[in-house]
């Protein structure tokens, strides 16, 4: 009961102090009392405070503000956008992964072939030098030779195959069976 | 939920399908590449039967073998299959080379 007689605050206080002329200008056909129904009629009907009072509930405003169907509006777009972002992120992560896996397979095969070709030369099955033979085999396999170490008849090679952003490296050693 | 959500769902599903198809093609490329490596290795060692191995690894794939100097290169090609549908016009291929062994028993 004490609250009912308390002075209105904020926007309502400003509106409560509007003059009779202002109220008539806003509603020329107004006939009723100007102060008694000010907070009820005026708050709901006229002026720039209309939207504001509808959006901010006030204890002087009677009745509940109808917000049904407004809080979830636009959730579809947000959801679709987030799902799309997740999918794109997955593709951006997975596509290089597939490229790297393919490059890894190629690098392994190229390293094997390169080491075998070099070892064939080192053992004496073919003429020439081991490392140029290793390079030739690596290039034929789509790789580049980055290291070639000949230790007697055992050859160790390192080849690299460019994948998405990295070089996939494979190492292979070949020699006669012991 | 809402009508706007209903219009967006097909687009998202389409995008998801594209993502999965990309992944599938990547896996297929990997298998073709591996099959080419195995075929080159087997054929260069003089074992033979690489065509049977390739058709077992990648059913329906084509195999071609080319000798380049001391190397034997195998190329495996296959039509791209997405979600069980074979796209005849799009092909993926994998190539691999292996050094040939002249004298049997030394490799």
* pLDDT digits 0-9 by tens, A61-109: 455 555 555 566 667 778 778 888 888 888 888 888 888 888 998 899 8
Q: How confident is the model at residue B32 (pLDDT cuts 50, 70, 90)?
A: very high
Q: Which of A8-12, A160-164, B34-38, B52-56 shows the lowest per-residue confidence on average (mean pLDDT)?
A: A8-12
Whether residue A105 and residue B33 make contact (CB cut-off 8 A), yes or no, is yes
How far does the CA of residue B88 sit from the closest CA of chain A (Å)?
A: 22
* pLDDT digits 0-9 by tens, A21-36: 666 677 666 665 544 4
Contacts of B21 in chain A (CB under 8 A): none
pLDDT at A31: 62
Tokens of A9: 């605050």
Whether residue A72 and residue B15 make contact (CB cut-off 8 A), yes or no, is no
Does residue B107 carry a pLDDT above 50?
no
Task: Kindly list the strands in the beta sheet with B62-68, ordered across the sheet, starting from the edge strand earlier in the chain.
Answer: B62-68, B71-82, B85-99
**Which of A76, A84, A125 has its CB closest to that of B4?**
A76
Prediction ipTM score: 0.75
**What's the rounded mean pLDDT across residues B35-46?**
87
Whether residue A117 and residue B70 make contact (CB cut-off 8 A), yes or no, is yes
**What's the rounded mean pLDDT across residues A107-122?**
90
Contacts of B10 in chain A (CB under 8 A): none
Q: How confident is the model at residue A57 (pLDDT cuts 50, 70, 90)?
A: very low
Tokens of A53: 């009072």
pTM of the entire structure? 0.64
Residue A132 near residue A80 (C-beta atoms within 8 A): no
Q: Of residues A135 and A9, which shows the higher confidence score?
A: A135
CB-based contact (8 Å) between B87 and chain A? Answer: no
Most confident option among A75-79, A128-132, B103-107 = A128-132
Mutation target for B interface from A125, A139, A143: give the one with most B CBs within 10 A: A125
Residue B92 near residue B77 (C-beta atoms within 8 A): yes
DSSP letters for A12-42: HHHHHT--HHHHHHH-TT--S-SSTTIIIII
* pLDDT digits 0-9 by tens, B45-90: 788 788 888 888 888 888 888 888 788 889 998 888 887 777 777 8
CB-based contact (8 Å) between A90 and chain B? Answer: yes
d(CA B67, CA B46): 13
d(CA A120, CA B102): 10
Whether residue A105 and residue B1 make contact (CB cut-off 8 A), yes or no, is no
């Amino acid at each position: 009961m004490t609250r009912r007689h308390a002075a209105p605050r904020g926007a309502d206080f400003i509106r409560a102090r509007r003059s009779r002329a202002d109220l008539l200008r806003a509603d020329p056909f107004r006939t009723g009392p100007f102060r008694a129904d000010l907070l009820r009629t005026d708050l709901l009907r006229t002026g720039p405070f209309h939207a504001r009072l509808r959006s901010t509930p006030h204890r002087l405003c009677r009745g509940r503000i109808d917000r049904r169907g407004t809080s979830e509006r636009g959730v579809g777009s947000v959801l679709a956008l987030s799902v799309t972002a997740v999918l794109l992120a997955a593709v951006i992560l997975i596509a290089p992964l597939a490229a790297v896996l393919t490059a890894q397979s190629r690098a392994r095969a190229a390293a094997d072939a390169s080491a075998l070709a070099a070892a064939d030369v080192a053992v004496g099955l073919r003429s020439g030098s081991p490392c140029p033979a290793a390079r030739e085999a690596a290039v034929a396999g789509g790789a580049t030779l980055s290291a070639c170490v000949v230790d007697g008849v055992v050859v160790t090679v390192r080849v690299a195959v460019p994948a998405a952003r990295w070089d996939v490296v494979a190492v292979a050693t070949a020699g006669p069976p012991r | 939920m809402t009508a706007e959500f209903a219009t967006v769902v097909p687009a998202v599903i389409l995008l998801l399908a594209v993502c999965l198809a990309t992944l599938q093609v990547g896996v297929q490329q990997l298998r073709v590449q591996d099959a080419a490596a195995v075929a080159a290795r087997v054929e260069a060692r003089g074992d033979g039967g690489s065509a049977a191995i390739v058709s077992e690894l990648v059913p329906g794939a084509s195999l071609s073998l080319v000798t380049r100097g001391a190397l034997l290169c195998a190329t495996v090609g296959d039509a791209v299959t997405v979600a069980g549908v074979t796209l005849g016009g799009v092909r993926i291929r994998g190539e691999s080379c292996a050094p040939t062994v002249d004298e049997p028993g030394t490799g």
